[in-house]
Amino acid sequence: MLYALLCYHDEDFVCSWSKDQDEAVMAKLAVVQEKLAKQGRLGPVARLLPTTAATTLRKDDPPLVVDGPYAETKEQLLGFYLVDCNNLDEAVEVARELGEANPGGSYEIRPVGTFRPGGALA
């Protein structure tokens, strides 16, 4: 089963990392990702630009385009993984490993309902 690991963290905090700190975290995460990729379990990985760059389409009639999401809550969605796991325990284990590489914040583990891989992007 595919699980989405949604990465939440305080944006103020993550944006305060120096370039070196940022690179160190990314390097540690890459180790875990590499392992999952070798096992053929890693789907797309995305790091999102800050929420200040986001725009939201409210599905009213007619649809309304607004700035945001406004980051009023403590933690923001900053990125996500798609990982193939046999069960929730495995998914939690993956999240735990990623969390050790990048402490703080939280991962929301969400089973994927529909998945279309799409075409090649890059």
Partner 1 sequence: MTDAAWIDAALTSARPQAVGALLRYFRDLDTAEEAFQNACLRALKSWPQNGPPRDPAAWLIMVGRNAAIDDVRRGRREQPLPDDEAISDLDDAESALADRLDGSHYRDDILRLLFICCHKELPATQQIALALRVVSGLTVKQISRAFLVSEAAMEQRITRAKARVAQADVPFETPGAVERSERLVAVAAMIYLIFNEGYSASGETAELRKPLSEEAIRLARLLLRLFPGEPEIMGLTALLLLQHARIAARFDAEGSLILLEDQDRSLWNEPMIAEGLALIDKAMRHRRSGPYQIQAAIAALHARAARPEDTDWTQIDLLYGALEVVQPSPVVTLNRAVATSKVRGAQAALDMIAPLETRLANYFYFFGVRGALLMQLGRNDEARTAFDRAIALAHSSAEAAHIRMQLDRLMRDGATATAQAGR
Residue 57: closest CA among 49, 66, 45: 66
Here's the x/- map for partner 1, 8-27, by CB under 8 A: it reads as: --xxxx-xxxxx-x--xx--
Single-letter residue type at 100: E
Sites for partner 1 among residues 87-116 (CB under 8 A)? 102-104
Residues 6+ apart with CB under 8 A from 65: 55, 56, 57, 58
Q: Is 55 in the site for partner 1 (CB under 8 A)?
A: yes
In the complex, the smallest distance separating the C-beta of residue 90 from partner 1, rounded to whole angstroms, is 26
3-state secondary structure (DSSP) of residue 11: helix
Closer CB to partner 1, 17 or 115, in the complex? 17
Buried b vs exposed e over 17-41: b needs ≥16 C-beta within 10 Å? eeeeeeeebeeebeebbeebeeeeb
34 sits near partner 1 (criterion: CB under 8 A):
no
User: Among residue numbers 67 through 86, which ones bind partner 1 (CB under 8 A)?
Assistant: 67-68, 70-72, 74
Residues forming the site for partner 1 (CB under 8 A): 10-13, 15-19, 21, 24-25, 49-53, 55, 65, 67-68, 70-72, 74, 102-104
